[in-house]
Structure 1
Amino acid sequence: MRISTVTMFEQSTASMNRQQSDLMKVSQQIASGRRVVNPSDDPQAASRAVGVDQAKAVTEQFSDSRVSARNSLSQTESIINSVSDAITSAKGLLIQASSDTLTDENRESIASELKGVYETMLGQANSTDGNGRYLFGGYNDSNPPFVKQGDGGVVYQGDSNVREQRVDATRLMPVADNGETIFKSVPSGAGYVAEAKKEDGTLNQGSVTFRGPQINNVNDADYGDDFRITFTSDSAFNVETFDGTDWNPVNAALTNVPYTGNQDDTAQQVSYGGVSINLSGTPEVGDSVLVAQADGEQRQPDLFRTMEEAIRVLENPADDATKKADQRNTLNTAMRDLDNSLDNVLTVRASAGARLNELDVIDSVSSNRMLNYDQTLSDLVDLDYTEAISEYILRQVGMQAAQKAFVDIKGLSLFNYM
């Protein structure tokens, strides 16, 4: 068989090109540190590596999300801590104001301090995060959630939703509580609160004061019902409940009940639904004392309203029996409201702290997951340098052999044998 010179040149060139290609491939692997430089190197490993890379990217995105959530929760926890300190300070001022040794001027001075605490709370309630969003407005976070009205009252204008953020594939975490949860709520089981006001919300005209209420029997059939004690004269009263439309006497036994709390400075105990309250003083017709659940429909909790009522009675001189009774009753109600608010704020703070701890746990799990992803990617595409260097040396030898063979074949000629 005759082998032409062209054929020898072509075969030698093809051999050198193959060796050069193999050498370049190993060189790329060594330079990049990857066994799979192109998908064609190992299609199955390349395909699996793409999936692992995507999962790794999603995990990193959740990690960034947790940083944002942690910042928001940390700020929330810090502000709530300040609110709890303010409530404690306000409670101390009210206890001080309740002393009978203080003058009206002393109480007015305490009212000034209480106003400062009140304004501090309002500022904290309208706190913003680093992006200018209001923390406690729910999803309505572009406007202040608490707005002071012309009459001095504060109205909540946020929504009742809780802002949430996905911090892991299976966890959607609340990252900021709304203002209603913090400033207009009480914890479950807060009990009852009494308030001395008429049915239309105006102040009583008599000098009736109360102590309590106390819970005596939670198994009573009527426990949980709100009730109102309304005086029909200075010596009788009705115990009424709300039927959804109006207040009506409970039954005949609690209608026109003789009142003896205005005699000889003695207190009369009134009981209904497993709850009792002690009354004393002289009433006027139409005066009422509401005994309602702290989170009931008849008396919605409101920290700012509590502070406003306390400031009102401390600013006004108690120069007659009616005003003294209003002052005592309002301070008693305010202190119980502040106790409930403090319990609620501490509960919310504990919840924020628990979520911060949960983020730490999720971060730990995510770190382990990232290590697993890195190990999987390494097993799929990373290079074994020992094997690669041996392969590189082998390809160099092959390349040199091909070149030497080409040189030797190129020099062959029949004239060498003539």
Structure 2
Amino acid sequence: MRISTVTMFESGLTAMNRQQGKLMHVDQQLASGRRVVNPSDDPQAASRAVNVSQSMAVSQQYADARISTGNALAQEESVLNSVSDGIASAKTLIIQASSDTLSDADRASVATELKGIYENLLGLANTTNGNGTYLFGGYKDDAPPFVKESGGVAYKGDLGVREQQVDSSRKMPVGDSGVAIFERVHNGAGYVATAGTNNGSVTFTGPTRVDAADSGYGDGYAISFADNAGTLEYTVTNTSTGSTVPGKAGVEYTPGETLSFGGLSITLEGTPVAGDTISMAKAEDQSIFSTLESAIAALDAPAETATEKAARRNTLSTVSRELDNSLDNVLTVRASVGARLNELDVLDSVGGNRSLNYESTLSDLVDLDYGRAITDYKIRQVGLQAAQKVFTEIQGMSLFDRL
């Protein structure tokens, strides 16, 4: 078969180009550090690498969400810590103001301190984050959630709670509603006693839980006083059923007596008059601000008569119990925030391990074995040099050299 000179030249050039292309491909692998530079290098590995890369991107989005959620919860925890400190300080002042050694001026001074705590708590309730949105306004976070009105502080926020997807199967609340923090008591709160508009000087201490297993525990009660032919008597009524508590109807009143019924006990002192009442019921939702307003009003008002002093003491006793319930509620919310922060740490650990697995899988699929690649590079380099050498020698073959 006759082979023309053009054929020899084209064949040699093609061989050199092929060897040079292979060398350049290995050079691209070495430069990029990847075995699969183009999908055609390994279609199956390239397809799996795309899926793994997408999973890594989703995992990173969850990681970013956990960071923003953690920052929001950390700020809330810090605010709640300040709120609990404020309530504890208010409780200390209430105990101080309950002392009979204080004058009206001293109590007015305590009221001034309570006003400072009141304003501080209001400021904390209207805390904003770095974006200028209110922490405790729910979905309505573009305006202060707690607003002063003529009747006290009113909540203008939303009852909803924003949530963030922090993992594939976990959507976590980013905060808490202001109502849940400042206007509720936890479900384990006990009884609160309140005195009506009494004309006598009766005061109470308690109530105290004696037996939560008692069949009447959880019902509401009212102690009413009546004059029976010159003898002051009391009657305890179950306000939940409307019936009189057995053995507590028309009982002669003795100052300093401790009454026990419905799994509760309460100690009464002072001298009531007919028509005076004391009510007891399981604690219901109570605003921290209205509680402090009651205490401030009681301390600002001078008390001269025994009736006025008893009313002030009863108000402070009720306020003290309500502050205890409010503090317990805030601590419960703080515990919830802490639990969520701990959960984020666990999810971060799991997410970190998942990302490492993704990176390892992706590396196995597309990363380059440098030792093998360098060996291939040397082989391709030798192949190209051989092709160039052969082409040079073939180029020199001509019949004209024999003439």
| Structure 1: distance between partners of 2:8 and 2:239 | 110
Of residues 244, 262, 266 in structure 2, which corresponds to 1:273? 262
1:77 matched to 2:66: no
Q: CA 1:252–1:3 in structure 2 vs 1: closer, same or farther (change >3 Å)?
A: closer
Does structure 2 conserve the Cα–Cα contact (< 8 Å) formed by 1:65 and 1:166?
yes
| Structure 1: distance between partners of 2:245 and 2:313 | 31
| Structure 2: distance between partners of 1:224 and 1:56 | 54
| Structure 2: distance between partners of 1:411 and 1:12 | 13
Deviation by residue 1:354-399 (Cα, 9 ceiling, x = unmatched): 3222222222222222222222111111111111111111111111
Following superposition, the deviation at residue 260 of structure 1 comes to 3.3
1:149 matched to 2:149: yes
Following superposition, the deviation at residue 271 of structure 1 comes to 4.0
The SS at the match of 1:167 is: strand
Deviates more, 1:82-91 or 1:277-286: 277-286
The SS at the match of 1:225 is: coil
Match of 1:372 in 2: 357
1:260 matched to 2:252: yes
Match of 1:221 in 2: 215
| Structure 2: distance between partners of 1:371 and 1:280 | 70
CA root-mean-square deviation: 2.2
Q: CA 1:286–1:39 in structure 2 vs 1: closer, same or farther (change >3 Å)?
A: farther
Does structure 2 conserve the Cα–Cα contact (< 8 Å) formed by 1:260 and 1:267?
no
Match of 2:11 in 1: 11
Following superposition, the deviation at residue 276 of structure 1 comes to 2.8
Letter in 2 for 1:343: D
Match of 1:21 in 2: 21
Does structure 2 conserve the Cα–Cα contact (< 8 Å) formed by 1:231 and 1:287?
yes
What is the total number of aligned residue pairs between the two structures?
Answer: 400
The SS at the match of 2:130 is: coil
Following superposition, the deviation at residue 22 of structure 1 comes to 0.7
Following superposition, the deviation at residue 254 of structure 1 comes to 7.3
Letter in 1 for 2:336: S
Match of 2:179 in 1: 180
Match of 1:200 in 2: none
1:160 matched to 2:159: yes
Following superposition, the deviation at residue 410 of structure 1 comes to 2.5
Deviation by residue 1:276-305 (Cα, 9 ceiling, x = unmatched): 32334444555332211123xxxx222111
Does structure 2 conserve the Cα–Cα contact (< 8 Å) formed by 1:238 and 1:249?
no
| Structure 1: distance between partners of 2:245 and 2:94 | 40
Deviation by residue 1:200-224 (Cα, 9 ceiling, x = unmatched): xxx3333222121122222222211
Letter in 1 for 2:100: D
Match of 2:305 in 1: 320
Deviation by residue 1:228-249 (Cα, 9 ceiling, x = unmatched): 2344558455544456xxxx73
Q: CA 1:259–1:319 in structure 2 vs 1: closer, same or farther (change >3 Å)?
A: farther
Does structure 2 conserve the Cα–Cα contact (< 8 Å) formed by 1:107 and 1:315?
yes
Gaps of 5+ in 1: 198-202
| Structure 2: distance between partners of 1:97 and 1:105 | 11
Q: CA 1:85–1:61 in structure 2 vs 1: closer, same or farther (change >3 Å)?
A: same
Does structure 2 conserve the Cα–Cα contact (< 8 Å) formed by 1:233 and 1:283?
no
| Structure 1: distance between partners of 2:187 and 2:245 | 33
| Structure 1: distance between partners of 2:209 and 2:328 | 18
Letter in 2 for 1:274: G
1:138 matched to 2:138: yes
Following superposition, the deviation at residue 330 of structure 1 comes to 0.7
Gaps of 5+ in 2: none
Following superposition, the deviation at residue 42 of structure 1 comes to 0.5
Q: CA 1:252–1:118 in structure 2 vs 1: closer, same or farther (change >3 Å)?
A: closer
Percent of pairs identical after alignment?
58
Letter in 1 for 2:256: A
| Structure 2: distance between partners of 1:322 and 1:94 | 19
